Chain A
Amino acid sequence: MEKLINEFSVGLFFWQTVLFIILLLLLRKFAWKPILDAVNDREAGIKNALVAAEEAKKEMQNVTADSEKLLKEARTEREAMLKEAREIKDKMIADSKEQAKIEGDKMIKHAQSAIESEKKAAVADIKNQVAELSIAIAEKVLKEELSNKKEQLKLVENLLGDVKLN
């Protein structure tokens, strides 16, 4: 202990204290504060970046889920549209078929009526011709018959007999 006290130098103690305190103050201002601030900033930056990355990941997941949902919706929509188209097509086909049928029927009817009227006309024509023909024939027959008196009387008698029957 006595040796220690003997070794103690007041001058060195004084200089050590003064220089150390000056060093401490200078370092605090020019080194430790900026260093610690920078390190803290960096750590905060890393923390923020990690949080942001986590958020981005979540967002990404959301986006994926969204797009999947959209895809699903689109698919169902497409299916519905296809179904609808198919229905429309079927309906159109059925409609046109019906229309065609109606039209056909109409045309058939029309044709039938035309045929009928043609037929009637033809028949009438035939009738006329037959009448004319029969008149002509009758004329010729009468001309021959009436050339003989006896025959004429017979005919008149026959005709009169027919009238009685009517």
Chain B
Amino acid sequence: MKEYGGKELRKKGKKELDKISALPMKQRLQYIWDYYWLWIIGIGFFLIFGIWFVWRSTTAIRENWIGIVFPNAMTEVGNGSQLWEEYLEHTGYDIKEKNVLFEDKLYFDPTTASGMNNSYYQAFVAMIETGQADAVTMRREEIEALGKSGRLIDLSSEPCRELYVKYRDRLVYSIPYDTEYSTDPVPIGIDVSDSILMTKYHIYENSCVFSIGSYTRNLEACTEFLDWILEGKSGSVAQKILEAETETEAG
């Protein structure tokens, strides 16, 4: 059985070169294209792809300053929204260095089994479990249901001690499915119903709870975000909006 080795390839290459060397340039190019067009396209594609792949892998922004998901949000609070811009202005985060991800296009109901049986919930789980999303805000009963899964951080745990003490009068509890972990209610959220998320952006009705994902890598940024929304340290963008609203009302 005849197989190609390096020697065979060289021999074939030489034979082909001999064949085309006598031809004028135009016919030579025509011959190469006619017989090797697939190889030219294939190698060209892989070369371009390889260069792009290396460039992208080395220059892409992989990390997040913070990633927050706002499932079932009633107003636009995703990337590019006023809330997002205001937050960037407040923190001074450079998004060329790391991303700030606000995702508001997820819709599911964790209070019922059927409400979680959709792609939005699976996308949410993937985002939380991979650490792409550091925190989540939802209505109180939704967070209580979500907290049972163990995907939200236990605020009484050591890394969250500061938060636990600072916001102990706002804690929201949930009994986990994992009875080995605890049979008592575990603090998994902080009630932020009186924060700018509700008072200014009206993203939910009735209640709003902020929770941190168990797999977060940006606990400090989550704490800062929480302080910011609760203490209303809104930046100049928010100030302008509020001033405009006040003027309109007065007018």
Decide whether A and B are members of one complex.
no
